[in-house]
Amino acid sequence: MMEQTLSIIKPDAVAKNVVGQILARFEEAGLRIAATKKIRLSRVDAEAFYAVHKDRPFFKDLVDFMISGPVVVSVLEGENAMAKNRELMGATNPKEAAPGTIRADFADSIDANAVHGSDSLENAAIEIAFFFPQREIY
């Protein structure tokens, strides 16, 4: 099924200068970059984006990390884009991420884990609308 999903290249990966390498992995897997931009999240933005985690013990660390530097947000489009992106990303904890995944190759810790990807089609639609007006998605 043709789908769209949201990807965020987190501040650690942007600082490592591997944005192009990560975007290339999406393209090599057959996903198309329908929209992309580099932005710096405000604290209000990051808290709203991760609102589902607001009661978790790691919430403050997560927000602090996500606003520590610019991020690259993209809309990825293709067959099974949501699940395909999650597969390319690897497990949340890079120590558990399968070899060859983005997190295994570029992430250092569970906080600084290189990428975010929507975890359901419902969340993908919400997350895409959070960052991109329809006129910026092609």
* Active-site residue flag, 53: no
Kindly write out the interface string for residues 83-112 of this chain, putting x where it contacts ligand GDP by CB under 6 A and - elsewhere.
---------x-----------------xx-
Catalytic pick among 34, 63, 116, 118 = 116
State the greatest distance between any 2 C-alpha atoms of the chain, in Å, as a whole number: 39
Contacts (Cβ under 8 Å, ≥6 apart) of 95: none
Query: How far out from the chain centre does Cα 98 lie?
Result: 17
**Cβ(10)–Cβ(65) below 8 Å:** yes
- Helix and strand numbers, DSSP H then E, in the chain: 7, 4
Give min distance, CB of 103 to ligand GDP, in A: 8
Kindly write out the interface string for residues 7-46 of this chain, putting x where it contacts ligand GDP by CB under 6 A and - elsewhere.
----------------------------------------
The helix/strand/coil state of 39 is strand
Kindly write out the interface string for residues 118-137 of this chain, putting x where it contacts ligand GDP by CB under 6 A and - elsewhere.
-x------------------
Contacts with ligand GDP by CB under 6 A lie at 58, 61-62, 92, 110-111, 113, 116, 119
